[in-house]
Amino acid sequence: MKLTFRIPYHTAWGENVSVILADEIWVDLYTLDGQIWQGDCEYTPEDTTSAVSYRYAIYSNGSCVRKELGSIPHSFYPGNSLQTHYILNDAWRDLPLKAYKYSSAFNGLYQREMPRWLAENVECCVTFRALCPGLRLKKQALGIIGSCSVLGAWDSKRALRMHEVQPNVWHLTVDASRLMAQSPFEYKFVTINTVTGAIEDWEFGANRVFQIQPLQKGETYLPAETEIHFDQPEQKIAGTAIPVFSLRSEGSFGVGDFGDLKTFIEWAVATHQRAVQILPINDTTMSGTWTDSYPYSSISIYAFHPMYVDLRQLPALKDKNAAMNFERKRLLLNTLPQVDYEEVNRCKRAYIRTVFQQEQKTILADKRFQEFLDTNREWLQPYAAFRYLTEKYHTADFHQWEAYSTYSLEAIEELCSPKSKHYADIAVYYYTQYLLHVQLLAATTYGRNQGVLVKGDIPIGISRTSVEAWMEPFYFNMNGQAGAPPDAFSVNGQNWGMPTYNWNVMAEDNYQWWQRRFRKMAEYFTAYRIDHILGFFRIWEIPYHSVHGLLGQFSPSMPMSQDEIQSYGLTFRKDFMTRPFISDYILNSQFEDKADEVRETFLLPLHSDLYQMRPEFDTQRKVEAYFAGKTDAQSIELKEKIYALISDVLFIPDRDNPEQYHPRIAVQNDYVYQQLTQPEKDAFNRLYNHYYYQRHNNFWYKEAMKKLPILTQSTDMLVCGEDLGMVPDCVPWVMSQLQILSLEIQRMPKDPKVEFGKVYHYPFLSVCTIGTHDMSTFRGWWEEDRKLSERFYYNELGHWGNFPEKAPGWLCEEIVRHHLNSPSMLCILTWQDWLGMDEQLRNPDVDIERINVPANPKHYWRWRMHLTLEQLMGQTAFNDKVRVMIDGSGR
């Protein structure tokens, strides 16, 4: 067949327009006037029942400088055998105007409709194409009605129903000869009730006018796709955020599971909530201790954590004594106020292994199990081998294994082969992941069928001892540690310990590593949160020899030469500015009676009253090793102060070019800065502010736009970004352009000129919340800083009279109402903040409700609901109140 492409596009000098057909064929277009581009090609589709998709791209000097965005490409379907020439008139299209409406979060399950082919004797055709989201959930279809007889002559009973050939993409092919006889004519798009056939909505605005030139035999003309919007209010949603491990039911095993998640979604449905947000659920098992409870350091980007298996859905144990012992343990663990991570995981894994041994023949013969294994083999085999080997060697540090370099893909396949003597042990991991897949899919599918979006969480990093770091080390910088610069959470910055990404290598295959990760999420979720979205612009990279985050640098970034530093009026003195500044004054004031011990143990004298670190203690990791096992408060305090000595520098050499430098973050609080004269301080501050707040905006914008358009449009999930912390100006530029929902928190305002965010001024494309898992609950925050809370109470809320020492229920309710009535598309509150409204129901222990303390890298993630789900479902008065509040807010 012949394809003719036409598109209006005003190019710059040296630019050319091309078509990328079926993701693999490039068709160069030409122009005679610099405005209209067109070109032809011959194309034979492999499958005439499937859509032919294409996108437009702009090239300059052989490189692609711009390509159409969006997860919905242009498309058409080949018609009957007489149609041999398709004339495709298009307009450049990035994201749809309201891209969120096209996400799976706002659309029901899609069942493909085949286009209705015209009779074989029809010689020429016109195919109308339109984009219109959200009709499926309302049992509607898109239709066309118009002034010509083919389109019903404005008779509402004769409107033509279009066909949803792809999700939210509607086509209708008609006989062109009948249209040409009545051209030009007017028409409109309408919605048609799929049950009654009646028109329910008319497109607003003036009538459209269609005029067509005569077509030859075999030609099909396709006018540009049209985005259709009906006059309907924006959809706003309320929901709850809660970690799966925090759920509690009468039958759970000391930790929440995927069966409990389904029950929690039932509660959300009952209270008219339409969103449930969870934390990451990937396997984090490394040491087998409670330190594995950190959910953002996964050992696999695909495998789920075994503790989320709902054991109630497994076959009953035939060994009655074993069953009784497990039940006794379950009852004990389930009565604990918090998760006993180690014991829960030990017991649940033992139970799963016992069931597998009992049912092994049946399990391995199950066609559904085999289908899961075949579909997921690419990641499942390395994961199972990883888990088997880590348990065998009792370590998660592959760098310590002699076997590390010997396990090739072939060796893994041999280890995981059904013929392997280890297969029974390996297959337990397959079975566990199969159970998790089935149970999570059941929970999230239930949510989708009930109109509830279930929102997952994609961590920015992975563990440096993960399957991916083992199998694909070329994607990671193992000498760096991902983290965050100092902020309200941590004055020393955050060191997550994860390797940073080698983005240049990832770009070579169009970020397939990330695309696979997103597509796996899309099997279950209709929305997701990108953890630390700033990491796609730049990541705070900390050298492996550091413990704190203060010695980090942004990667990628543009370091400064000595000449550039001096251009700000600051004389560069390498030794003074790049080595720790340690003087007698610092030692005496910081260490007091321990000063002499520090001098003798950790330091060498330089000259006058200055010192340098001994070589055996010249990094924070070396100091950490010295204090290993010393857990008394005095040793910890001493260790932290020595860390501070090492980070007391003005500039940090660049990772790749040590003759270029980065100003050390937050150094204005340290002693080395105080040694500068006032003119030097002024010069340094000018340099510092330019470097951190101006220098990189365009650079980081381009970095993000290399990655995020590809990743966010690799699925149809609704995209939300966690854009907190030290946010460059370019971040909202990108998020607005890609229509990524921002995160809005009143106590962490985006505007530095205000103390508290203005809830009623939040953008529509946002998620608003009172607090996150990294923060105290509203009740906890209320008691942390009385002066701050007083300013909020009197100045922000406008109250007067006595200040309440503890947040009463009516105040918590007022804050919830403010958020429900905000303009944000999603209002997702933590479960603790919902319960805070009811003084009888809420947990009297405020402190136990905090999930994480970011300043503590060894925090134990173990919070659980103090009520069971059964008790929660039975709280009629509270549930009615939540439902009325949500309905009253229009959510």
Is the model's pLDDT at 398 over the cut of 50?
Answer: no
| Per-position DSSP letters for 527-555, written without gaps between them | EEEETTGGGGT-EEEEETT-SSSTT-EEE
C-alpha torsion sign, points 474, 288, 851, 641: negative
Q: How far apart are CA 382 and CA 412, in angstroms?
A: 7
| Per-position DSSP letters for 106-125, written without gaps between them | GS---------PPPTT---E
Helix (H) or strand (E) holding 209: strand 208-210
Q: SS3 sequence, 377-390?
A: HHHHHHHHHHHHHH
Both tokens assigned to 504: 């240049």
- For residue 31, which of 3, 8, 13, 58 has the smallest C-alpha distance? 8
Q: What is the mean pLDDT of residues 728-751?
A: 95
Instruction: Give residue 642's pLDDT band: very low, low, confident or very high (50, 70, 90).
Output: very high
Q: How far apart are CA 313 and CA 355, in angstroms?
A: 11
Give CA angle at 871 (867, 874), nearest 5°: 145
Residue-level length of the chain: 891
Question: What confidence tens digit (pLDDT) does each residue in 245-303 have?
Answer: 999 999 999 999 999 999 999 999 999 999 999 999 999 999 889 999 999 999 999 99
Q: Specify the amino acid at residue 290.
A: W
Question: What confidence tens digit (pLDDT) does each residue in 648-692 have?
Answer: 999 999 999 999 999 999 999 999 999 999 999 999 999 999 999
Q: How far apart are CA 624 and CA 643, in angstroms?
A: 9
- For residues 649 and 578, the answer to whether their CB atoms sit within 8 Å is yes
Cα dihedral 298, 303, 306, 309, rounded to 10, equals 130
Q: What is the mean pLDDT of residues 854-866?
A: 92
Q: Specify the amino acid at residue 160.
A: L
- For residue 127, which of 92, 70, 193, 75 has the smallest C-alpha distance? 75
Is the model's pLDDT at 523 over the cut of 70?
Answer: yes
Question: What confidence tens digit (pLDDT) does each residue in 564-586 have?
Answer: 999 999 999 999 999 999 999 99
Place of tokens 């939540």: 882
pLDDT attached to residue 231 = 81
Cβ-count burial of 72 within 10 angstroms (0-12 exposed, 13-18 middle, 19+ buried)? buried
Is the model's pLDDT at 857 over the cut of 90?
Answer: no
| Per-position DSSP letters for 779-812, written without gaps between them | HHHHHH-HHHHHHIIIIIS---SSPPSS--HHHH
What percentage of the chain reaches a pLDDT higher than 90?
81
- For residues 832 and 777, the answer to whether their CB atoms sit within 8 Å is yes
pLDDT attached to residue 267 = 98
Q: How far apart are CA 254 and CA 248, in angstroms?
A: 8
Phi, psi of 546 (to 5 degrees): -105, 150
- For residues 588 and 656, the answer to whether their CB atoms sit within 8 Å is no
Strand ranges inside 502-609, DSSP E: 527-530, 539-543, 553-555, 582-583, 603-605
Cβ-count burial of 509 within 10 angstroms (0-12 exposed, 13-18 middle, 19+ buried)? exposed
Q: What is the mean pLDDT of residues 301-314?
A: 98
Please provide the average confidence, as pLDDT, over all residues in the chain: 93
Q: SS3 sequence, 42-105?
A: ECCCCCCCCCEEEEEEEEECCEEEEECCCCCCEEECCCCCCCCEEEEECCCCCCCCCHHHHCHH
- For residues 506 and 571, the answer to whether their CB atoms sit within 8 Å is no
pLDDT attached to residue 416 = 87
| Per-position DSSP letters for 441-467, written without gaps between them | HHHHHHHHHTT-EEEEEE-S---TTSH
Distant-in-sequence, close-in-space partners of 850: CB < 8 Å, separation ≥ 6: 775, 776, 777, 780, 863
Cβ-count burial of 16 within 10 angstroms (0-12 exposed, 13-18 middle, 19+ buried)? middle
Alpha-helical segments (H) within 809-891: 809-820, 831-835, 869-873, 876-888
Instruction: Give residue 406's pLDDT band: very low, low, confident or very high (50, 70, 90).
Output: low
Both tokens assigned to 805: 């020492």
Is the model's pLDDT at 405 over the cut of 60?
Answer: no
Is the model's pLDDT at 399 over the cut of 80?
Answer: no
Is the model's pLDDT at 783 over the cut of 90?
Answer: yes
Helix (H) or strand (E) holding 491: none
- For residues 189 and 143, the answer to whether their CB atoms sit within 8 Å is yes
Q: Cβ of 197: how many Cβ atoms within 10 Å?
A: 13
Both tokens assigned to 656: 């790749």
C-alpha torsion sign, points 153, 159, 164, 167: positive
- Pair type for strands 63-67 and 476-484: unpaired
| Per-position DSSP letters for 283-313, written without gaps between them | ---SSSSGGGG-TTS-S-SSPBPGGG--GGG
As a whole number of angstroms, the longest Cα–Cα distance in the chain is 101
Q: How far apart are CA 202 and CA 192, in angstroms?
A: 9
3-state secondary structure of 343: helix
- Pair type for strands 494-501 and 476-484: antiparallel
**Bridge partner residues of 613 (DSSP):** 603
Both tokens assigned to 155: 């008779």
Q: How far is CA 3 from the centre of its chain?
A: 39
Question: What confidence tens digit (pLDDT) does each residue in 93-142 have?
Answer: 988 889 999 999 988 776 666 666 656 678 889 999 999 998 888 889 99
Q: What does pTM read for this prediction?
A: 0.91
Question: How far from 586 is each of 446, 527, 596, 598, 624, CA to CA, in Å?
Answer: 62, 51, 12, 11, 21
Q: What is the mean pLDDT of residues 683-707?
A: 96
pLDDT attached to residue 514 = 96
